[in-house]
Structure 1
């Protein structure tokens, strides 16, 4: 292996060696502890230390880095105290996740590290968001994100590279090509000669680097990092290397040909670099042994402290309280001057006034810029706020959700528009596995608002008409808001943007231009998690949300029924107090929703009522919903699908029970 020291001093050369040696010695100790049953799992990076150390050393300590399983050298080079790493791996309190996640699945703002999730791909989009924040603030900072050869087959990889290229984001995409995705060789993963070749298709600069040569890694990445700080753009880096252990220790390496193992064993990054330093008389064997002894003693000392640390304890209350970031923004009361506007106007106005209130708020989505969005909610925003803050995105929902999270991680705010709520399925993973779990896992708020135009009644068919709120109310960590009136829509949207948690904000397309209301002209907020009691009566409690609220109002105009009509407005958190108080008064409950019945929001509300108000009920809880089919296109079929025309009969049957 050829080493070019360039202009590096002896001290710098020795430092790089010690930075590689420490994670190697830690790993060797971990393998012993694994065999002794003192840790439960290990993903080895032996043979790949030069990449983690070289890339991390090339960045400044205030530049974000997003590592993976095999990047122990990132954490040690950032000088995280070893006892905290060891506590993390043992699920103890001095770790970074309160025992809630394992190994390298954690992040820390203190050390500017954003940890991975097992789905791999989203972290590439997070890096895009971090880099976008750096670029918008003109911070002149780089950002580096890791993935493996296997991860480059995920859609998120291609989405993230495409967005970064289109937006000229200062990201170093670091691909550790170690020959295998678990047991699948690269010959079965992709059909181009080099992963770096993929950069051509994205109009992106790319380089192939010897991932076992610490000096090549460090000097080349240093040069490129400095370059993108001054000239923001993404660069794809393919590091050729090899994994000398299994994907994780339990999987072994039997699938790897012996000859291949032997070829790469002689390319060991630490052995070769040590020999170079000794040959150049920069390091002596005695100094080397001293370094090893010092590190081994330090490792054992920190391990002893961790072993002595008591097992972590918690309570159900503590666990529940950490699902959401406590968010108590000041409530802004509405002003007395109002205007009669549509639901769509109220949403647009709430978003515009939030943009005026937060100069670090970025709105993103397909066609939201010059076109103003397909529903024209962001029309005129470009003129008011500029293209930096009102951004058209490529069609890549997954990457944009992750990117929005990256903006938040780097201190900004984000609102993303799903062009149609149906399209959220292509961004489902980062919503439920990244945003939702962020605060619980590592105390990082994820105040991303995702606007969700939804609903039937407009003849849009199976792919543009779903009301899919139940996909998300099941996921702890997400808030789900669903207004039915302009006044609520504006005040709840502004509150959602203020909130420090991820919010899915459902907007019924059928109400956009058909529903008018007097709405305060100035900025105001309404509390999330509080239902609205639209009508009061004593015969029955009607619970609904979205367009179905209007169906209930129409029905009550046609029948002589004394009803409490509750517009939930917020599905998560749910205002159970208002629900229970009404049920205890009326004794009968009917839940009307647009979604189909099984596994829906009404199912859980019904169960909650049965469990908490059973002795007050004079009849079984009744649910009225759409039929169990996808939403049809033809108008007459759509009417049969929806429960609107069936509600009156169901209500009267309940009253007569």
Structure 2
């Protein structure tokens, strides 16, 4: 029986080979999906997000891209992976949690990327990859490659702030990104009329000053030809383009969800517009595909599917290896010590940070600094004053107020082989970009061996009467997250050397800079470039009676207290880096002195002092002559009025606590 053609095709300019290739490429993911649905019912895979009825978008867009151009797909874009000719056994292994998949069993479905095929997979926080696409596109623009970056999202994802931030950044910087929105009718069960209140998502392009298009997402010929035309134009004239593909989700959000909430007449209407069946009927009508050819093509694909399934099924299950798991949290970084050969000069901590940035920019041609007001204005604290004239607008980039998108852009730059430094105007503002830090930067290397070569500078701390939104010292949020490194210097010498190392490190680093120390602490520092190692604390004073452990401004409070109490013989340990943590120095000191007190500026509960205390109790208990003592700020937000702030901070309570423990 002949299938009716319910889609209007225009094959102008397309040869027969291209049309048949479109057909084969759209058929393959359909046949794979049909097999996966059987395996799902048999319990051989755990979950499935179906793209049946939407294959035309993935296939048409991918065929319009060059193989060396990045695509950032979603979980209904199987056609992206198959059109890029990824070996099927690797996809099947990925879905079964096998070692030959792309995440070594550490993530599922399409939550992976592969540099080999220039695909960057999603995370469940859907909008995050939009800003990552900005970063990849920025890299191609800076290196003058005529390349397009393509990123997918669904209509539901366009409600997330990341979508709006990413479009705005791409527009302001004129980045060559195709933002592809698959408008498939429902976000899980929520229809589009409850998700946005405009006629078309493409209308949003107007607000960002970017070009937009609406394409029939079930017409693979229209998808391919129009996206191909747009992509060619963007390669020659870099700019962002918003493309809305009208389509429909024929199955549940994931298979367990079902589609009972969808009116049957709507399902029937879209079923008649099936992209595969309509193309197949069109090709037969034009005498480009015979029944026997159709059967042969299907048989070849089914044979390939079964052959590769057998390979994946026969692969052994992953055997947990604790050493391997722990070693894969961070990309291996070989620290290279660079010693100074220059004379010293007395500078402030703020000058040390600025010198490090400047000298690192000179050493790394692929290093970009991004942040609010960092170019002409020189940054909120004038740390990058003069950088614009020296390094140019491409490398010293003012950003819109969009912490999330800029951190994601840094991730995209790393994927494209570049380095970035992102300045938070204040560490407090990291909350607006928290998700990409803890869920993308921190986890990418563990998930699919993609490092995040990003340093986030965090001006932080109290003592300057700046109130609850400009004074937090929030390092504990990040020491809790595997995959991040956390650095917190207290002196100019350490700040310069450690920041140089942070920039060299190919892992994500949060670099805390205490605002109260910027201009109040001076020290002799080498004029030229040097590095200091992570995970090595500094012992500032040596004594026998007690171990004092601190970092940041708290180190200076401890120094002042010891100067006023010369009878107390103490080891004073400046941690310098909180992740990695120098436990060896801590343990050796505590075993010698028998007493330990930990001073932090952060509030007490849940701070890093709690973990250090536990580590000491677990590893040095038999050496202790007294309970481990923690001293920290009180359990309130940090207040504005100076007298309230002084009450909040532990600076004035530390002396009494130190004496009490010394006399225990």
TM-score interval w.r.t. the shorter chain? over 0.9
2:632 aligned counterpart, secondary structure = strand
**Equivalent of 2:642 in 617, 635, 639:** 635
Structure-1 residue corresponding to 2:421: 415
Structure-2 residue corresponding to 1:327: 333
Structure-1 residue corresponding to 2:555: 549
Separation of aligned partners in 2, 1:281 and 1:332: 70
Separation of aligned partners in 1, 2:114 and 2:375: 34
Correspondence 1:462 to 2:463: no
- 8 Å CA contact 2:210, 2:240 repeated in 1: yes
**Aligned counterparts, 1:173-572, within 5 A:** 173-559=179-565, 560-572=567-579
Structure-2 residue corresponding to 1:580: 587
Structure-1 residue corresponding to 2:173: 167
Measured against aligned partners, the alpha-carbon deviations of 1:388-445 in whole angstroms (never above 9, x if no partner) come to 0000000000010000000000011000000000000010000000000010000011
Correspondence 1:110 to 2:94: no
Correspondence 1:150 to 2:156: yes
**Equivalent of 1:595 in 593, 598, 602:** 602
Separation of aligned partners in 2, 1:435 and 1:94: 23
Measured against aligned partners, the alpha-carbon deviations of 1:24-55 in whole angstroms (never above 9, x if no partner) come to 00000000000111111000000000000000
- 8 Å CA contact 2:335, 2:533 repeated in 1: no
**Equivalent of 1:50 in 46, 52, 56:** 56
Q: How many pairs were matched up?
A: 657
Separation of aligned partners in 2, 1:107 and 1:640: 50
Q: 1:334: Cα distance to partner?
A: 2.0
Separation of aligned partners in 2, 1:482 and 1:650: 24
Separation of aligned partners in 2, 1:629 and 1:522: 42
Q: 1:6: Cα distance to partner?
A: 1.7
Segments of 5+ residues of structure 2 without an aligned counterpart are 1-6
1:160 aligned counterpart, secondary structure = helix
Separation of aligned partners in 2, 1:411 and 1:369: 23
Correspondence 1:616 to 2:634: no
Q: 1:314: Cα distance to partner?
A: 2.8
Measured against aligned partners, the alpha-carbon deviations of 1:154-211 in whole angstroms (never above 9, x if no partner) come to 0000000000000000000000000000110000000001000000000010000000
Q: 1:335: Cα distance to partner?
A: 2.3
Q: 1:553: Cα distance to partner?
A: 0.3
1:645 aligned counterpart, secondary structure = coil
Structure-2 residue corresponding to 1:66: 72
Segments of 5+ residues of structure 1 without an aligned counterpart are none
**Equivalent of 1:644 in 642, 651, 659:** 651
Q: 1:593: Cα distance to partner?
A: 0.6
2:549 aligned counterpart, secondary structure = strand
Q: 1:66: Cα distance to partner?
A: 0.1
1:644 aligned counterpart, secondary structure = coil
Separation of aligned partners in 2, 1:20 and 1:121: 26
1:364 aligned counterpart, secondary structure = strand
Separation of aligned partners in 2, 1:356 and 1:106: 34
**Aligned counterparts, 1:17-166, within 5 A:** 17-166=23-172
Structure-2 residue corresponding to 1:11: 17
Separation of aligned partners in 1, 2:183 and 2:501: 45
- 8 Å CA contact 2:134, 2:170 repeated in 1: yes
- 8 Å CA contact 2:418, 2:453 repeated in 1: no
CA RMSD of aligned residues (A): 0.5
Separation of aligned partners in 2, 1:65 and 1:47: 20
Q: 1:213: Cα distance to partner?
A: 0.3
Measured against aligned partners, the alpha-carbon deviations of 1:523-559 in whole angstroms (never above 9, x if no partner) come to 1110011110000000000000000000000000000
Measured against aligned partners, the alpha-carbon deviations of 1:98-140 in whole angstroms (never above 9, x if no partner) come to 0000010000000000010000111000000000000000001
Separation of aligned partners in 2, 1:571 and 1:291: 58
Q: 1:286: Cα distance to partner?
A: 1.2
Separation of aligned partners in 1, 2:187 and 2:371: 33
Separation of aligned partners in 2, 1:6 and 1:536: 82
2:122 aligned counterpart, secondary structure = coil
Q: 1:447: Cα distance to partner?
A: 1.4
Q: 1:315: Cα distance to partner?
A: 1.1
Separation of aligned partners in 1, 2:341 and 2:431: 39
Q: 1:329: Cα distance to partner?
A: 3.4
Separation of aligned partners in 1, 2:586 and 2:436: 32
Measured against aligned partners, the alpha-carbon deviations of 1:54-108 in whole angstroms (never above 9, x if no partner) come to 0000000000000000000000000000000000000001100000000100000
2:512 aligned counterpart, secondary structure = strand
1:638 aligned counterpart, secondary structure = helix
Structure-1 residue corresponding to 2:4: none
Moved more, 455-464 or 4-13: 4-13
After TM superposition, the score normalised by the length of structure 2 is: 0.99
Separation of aligned partners in 1, 2:406 and 2:341: 35
Q: 1:371: Cα distance to partner?
A: 0.3
Separation of aligned partners in 2, 1:578 and 1:122: 39
Q: 1:15: Cα distance to partner?
A: 0.4
2:147 aligned counterpart, secondary structure = coil
After superposing on structure 2, the runs of 4+ consecutive aligned residues of structure 1 that deviate more than 6 Å are none
Separation of aligned partners in 2, 1:145 and 1:122: 11
Q: 1:330: Cα distance to partner?
A: 1.8
- 8 Å CA contact 2:598, 2:629 repeated in 1: yes
1:467 aligned counterpart, secondary structure = coil
Separation of aligned partners in 2, 1:359 and 1:228: 26
